Structure formats: structure tokens, C-alpha cells
């Protein structure tokens, strides 16, 4: 049976295949499908890449069981995991896979979940107010609706549903539940309809849509889970590995966009005289902005309408924690002097290049910021020679020996100072001495 026959048409499938192909072509490639659903994307990718193995995660045991059936003989190439996807690091560690070649997230609910009344996701069919992806979870939509205070309900509806009548709806729910607990989807949908102004009922589809979205997000902690899962997925991909995320509302998409943006941006603090090796971007974007489904796809599958796709590729290995890897220069005194003068480092070395003989990095421009703003220029070798150190807005802390490693080389840490005056209130140069 194909995915469509199972009641689920994989969204933006051709684009997902195209974007993941370069990462999955290598023999032994591993994909994490973090939202297996009815295995629509997974089945297509297994066919495209005969050497591929998939670690397939879903919080919903029903999705796992149904996919096991849909996968048929391909099940031997799939590891099924019934878990919430923010458990990714634990899952990979348990499988002895520190890194993978790709991760796919196709967020939200699947068509079968929406279409099965008993799950309580749909405002179109009467069912108990449940909305749990993981049926072992202990918070249901009924519990939220019947136990949260009006202010909490209003906040959820406003933040997660972007509902402009959040307060009116929350107050109506509280009034109604005093008569009798609100336990069914259709009763809740009717309360919402009655709570909003008559004019608003006539526009924008079913007025309960945003309330149901908000409750689903709350019940499943969808945003918190995604905030933890996206960085974990980015950390898990190997160089050349790719991540594709399909989001279905702006709250999810914003989390993905921000996390990707962080990883493709140099994070050297503004004002630091040298770019930090560990702060270089480790990813590049594969999509500019969020991509949307084509009209032809929407005609065949209207449920794809709100999809927004973003993708990124790892271009550099992860850096060991900068705290564990202080910048090392052999000539600490010289380095301090050079940094105080706003130079890259003695002999034009980049931090960390000292143990590579013959490395000759060119001097780096000082970034315009704070005290330097408007005065930025490439550093000149003559600046190192003496004269008054220029104010850089940065403080060079003293070289220190690594605890427990007698005889290890000195390490220099460059630390930010808010201005030429450090936190102690002493001028930077005096603070430097005071901290010895």
C-alpha cells in the first residue's frame, strides 16, 4: 500500500527528496526521520537510496505500528523508535550512532491522526477532547480546558493560536465549564464560535481552528520539544549532512528559522579583534526563506497549504566546546600586547594557529563596534611595535596553566569587556594586572 492509500500524502515530497539526495547517496548513509507518521517520506527515500538506513521516530505508537505494516520488506532497513523527537541524542547514543547524514522533521499531526475522531484533534467530528500524540502522556486537552485558569487559557490561545479573541474565548470556556465540564470537541468548537463577534464568525474558516491548534501545542509541548530537538538534530549531522524541516505554522517556522540563522552566522562577539575559529558558521542554508508547496501539489493535497520548508547543510565539523579550547599562543606577553593594540596576533597568527608551524594568517580587520565604531581599519604590523595601545573594548586576561596538567602550554583567553573599563570599574589594563 502506498502512503496516499494509507490516508496520508507526504508533503513536498519531491523537494524533500531533491534536498536530501546529496547527503544520502553515500553507502551506509543514515537518515533520522524524526516524524515517521505513515512513513510516506521514509518509503520514498528508501527507494531512492538502496544503501540507506532510517532511524524512524514517532511519539504515536499507532504511527509506528501502521508504518511497520506499510514498510513491508523495507522494515529491515528501518529502526523504529517510539519516542518524542527531543530524545534524539539519547536515541542516537543508544544506537551507537554519534552522527547521521540527514534529519527530516515533518511537524504537526498526520492526516490519519486528524481523521480518527477518537484522537480528538479535529473540530469537525465529535470526540473526547484528547489531542495527545503520545497516548501515554498525562495531559489531555480536556484537562487543560477544565483546569487552567482563565488567564492561563487566554495566554495559550493568544500565544500558540495567535487568536485575537483569546480572552473572550477563555472567559467563555470558564463560564461553560462551571455548568458542566467541557469534554467533547464539538462542544468546545461551539463555545468558541459563540464567544467571538458575529462578524468574525463569517471569515477565515472554522473559528475553532486556532483554539484547537493552541490546545494541541500545549498538550504536546510542541514548541518546547521543537526548541530542544532542532539544535540536537543540527549537532547530530556529519559534515555534508542535511536537515529538512517542514513546519505548518509560523510559531514552529520561527523556531527553525532562528536556530538555522544562528548556525549559519559567525558568532564571534562584536568588537573582538580576531574572529574565533570556533565561532565560524558550521552550516550553510540550502533554502532562501521558507519554501512553499507548488499550486499543483495544493490542488492534489489541500492539507499541504500551510507547509513551509527550510533546509541546511553542515559545512564544518563541530568545534569542541570553546571553554575547553582556549586560544593558544606561545608568546603570551606578545599576544597580550598585540591584542591590546587591536592586532590579530603576533606575526599575524590567528588564535589557535600557533601549533601549526608556517601558518601565516593575514591580519584581520577590527570589527566596528563600541569604542571602535567608525574607526575600523585593517591592523598594520607597525601597530604591534609599541606606542600607546589602542582601546579595543576587549580585555586580554592573563595566561593560565591548565589545572592538573603541569607543564602544559600557557593558554590565553580573550574575554569581552563591556568597554575599555572592565566590570571591576578599573581601566582594562589595570584590571588585567589586578586579575593576576
Site residues (vs ligand SAM, CB under 6 A): 3, 8, 10, 35, 37-41, 57-60, 63, 84-85, 106, 108, 110, 133, 225
Residue 421's DSSP bridge partners are: 427
Q: Are strands 100-106 and 308-314 parallel, antiparallel or unpaired?
A: unpaired
Work out how close the CB of 325 gets to ligand SAM at its nearest, in angstroms, rounded to a whole number.
33
Q: Could you identify the residue written with the cell 499550486?
A: 295
Work out how close the CB of 190 gets to ligand SAM at its nearest, in angstroms, rounded to a whole number.
27
Work out how close the CB of 352 gets to ligand SAM at its nearest, in angstroms, rounded to a whole number.
38
Residue 347 and residue 350: Cα distance in Å, rounded? 9
Work out how close the CB of 383 gets to ligand SAM at its nearest, in angstroms, rounded to a whole number.
53
Residue 361 and residue 122: Cα distance in Å, rounded? 60
- Angle made by CA atoms 337, 343, 348, in degrees to the nearest 5: 105
**Smaller CB distance to ligand SAM: residue 10 or 422?**
10
| Per-residue cell: 253 | 517556522
| Length in residues, the chain | 436
**Smaller CB distance to ligand SAM: residue 222 or 350?**
222
| Per-residue cell: 254 | 520561527
Work out how close the CB of 248 gets to ligand SAM at its nearest, in angstroms, rounded to a whole number.
8
**Smaller CB distance to ligand SAM: residue 106 or 313?**
106
**Smaller CB distance to ligand SAM: residue 306 or 410?**
306
Work out how close the CB of 106 gets to ligand SAM at its nearest, in angstroms, rounded to a whole number.
4
Task: Please return the burial class of 16, using the count of CB atoms within 10 Å of its CB with bins 0-12, 13-18 and 19+.
Answer: buried
**Smaller CB distance to ligand SAM: residue 67 or 282?**
67
- Angle made by CA atoms 266, 272, 273, in degrees to the nearest 5: 110
**Smaller CB distance to ligand SAM: residue 60 or 350?**
60
Work out how close the CB of 42 gets to ligand SAM at its nearest, in angstroms, rounded to a whole number.
7
Q: Are strands 237-247 and 78-82 parallel, antiparallel or unpaired?
A: unpaired
Work out how close the CB of 120 gets to ligand SAM at its nearest, in angstroms, rounded to a whole number.
14
329-343: b (≥16 Cβ within 10 Å) or e: bebbeebbbbbbbbb
Q: From residue 416, give the alpha-carbon distance in Å to each of 74, 203, 330, 409, 426.
A: 54, 53, 21, 23, 14
Nearest-CB residue to ligand SAM?
37
**Smaller CB distance to ligand SAM: residue 58 or 163?**
58
**Smaller CB distance to ligand SAM: residue 213 or 327?**
213
Residue 28 and residue 12: Cα distance in Å, rounded? 25
**Smaller CB distance to ligand SAM: residue 225 or 301?**
225
Q: Which residue in 397, 407, 387, 384 sits closest to 429, CA to CA?
A: 397
Work out how close the CB of 313 gets to ligand SAM at its nearest, in angstroms, rounded to a whole number.
20
Amino acid at each position: 500500500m502506498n502512503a496516499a492509500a494509507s490516508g496520508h500524502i507526504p508533503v513536498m515530497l519531491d523537494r524533500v527528496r531533491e534536498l536530501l539526495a546529496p547527503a544520502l547517496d553515500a553507502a551506509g548513509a543514515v537518515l533520522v526521520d524524526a516524524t515517521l507518521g505513515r512513513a510516506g517520506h521514509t518509503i520514498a527515500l528508501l527507494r531512492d537510496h538502496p544503501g540507506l538506513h532510517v532511524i524512524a521516530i514517532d511519539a504515536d505508537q499507532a504511527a509506528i505500528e501502521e508504518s511497520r505494516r506499510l514498510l513491508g520488506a523495507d522494515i529491515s532497513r528501518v529502526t523504529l523508535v517510539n519516542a518524542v523527537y527531543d530524545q534524539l541524542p539519547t536515541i542516537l547514543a543508544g544506537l551507537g550512532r554519534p552522527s547521521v547524514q540527514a534529519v527530516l522533521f515533518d511537524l504537526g499531526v498526520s492526516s490519519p491522526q486528524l481523521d480518527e475522531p477518537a484522537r480528538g484533534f479535529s473540530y469537525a467530528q465529535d470526540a473526547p477532547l484528547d489531542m495527545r500524540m503520545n497516548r501515554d502522556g498525562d495531559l489531555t486537552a480536556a484537562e487543560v480546558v477544565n483546569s487552567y485558569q482563565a488567564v492561563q487559557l487566554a495566554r495559550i490561545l493568544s500565544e500558540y493560536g495567535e487568536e485575537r479573541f483569546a480572552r473572550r474565548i477563555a472567559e467563555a470556556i470558564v463560564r461553560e465549564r462551571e455548568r458542566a465540564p467541557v469534554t467533547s470537541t464539538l462542544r468546545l468548537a461551539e463555545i468558541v464560535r459563540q464567544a467571538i463577534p458575529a462578524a468574525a464568525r463569517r471569515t477565515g474558516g472554522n473559528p475553532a481552528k486556532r483554539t484547537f491548534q493552541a490546545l494541541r501545542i500545549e498538550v504536546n509541548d510542541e514548541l518546547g520539544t521543537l526548541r530542544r530537538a532542532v539544535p540536537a538534530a543540527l549537532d547530530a549531522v556529519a559534515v555534508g549532512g542535511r536537515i529538512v524541516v517542514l513546519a505548518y505554522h509560523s510559531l514552529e517556522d520561527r523556531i527553525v528559522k532562528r536556530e538555522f540563522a544562528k548556525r549559519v552566522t559567525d558568532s564571534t562577539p562584536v568588537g573582538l579583534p580576531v574572529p574565533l575559529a570556533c565561532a565560524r558558521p558550521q552550516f550553510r542554508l540550502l533554502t532562501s526563506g521558507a519554501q512553499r508547496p507548488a499550486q499543483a501539489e495544493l490542488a492534489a493535497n489541500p492539507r499541504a497549504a500551510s507547509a513551509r520548508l527550510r533546509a541546511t547543510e553542515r559545512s564544518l565539523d563541530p568545534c569542541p566546546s570553546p571553554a575547553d579550547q582556549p586560544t593558544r599562543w606561545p608568546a603570551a606577553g606578545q599576544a597580550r600586547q598585540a591584542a591590546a593594540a587591536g592586532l590579530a596576533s603576533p606575526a599575524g597568527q590567528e588564535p589557535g594557529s600557533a601549533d601549526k608551524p608556517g601558518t601565516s594568517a593575514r591580519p584581520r580587520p577590527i570589527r566596528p563596534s563600541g569604542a571602535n565604531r567608525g574607526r575600523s581599519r585593517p591592523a598594520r604590523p607597525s601597530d604591534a611595535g609599541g606606542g600607546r595601545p589602542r582601546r579595543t573594548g576587549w580585555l586580554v586576561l592573563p595566561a593560565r596553566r591548565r589545572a592538573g596538567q603541569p607543564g602544559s602550554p600557557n593558554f590565553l583567553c580573550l574575554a569581552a569587556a563591556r568597554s575599555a573599563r572592565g566590570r571591576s570599574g578599573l581601566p582594562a589594563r589595570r584590571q588585567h594586572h589586578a586579575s593576576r
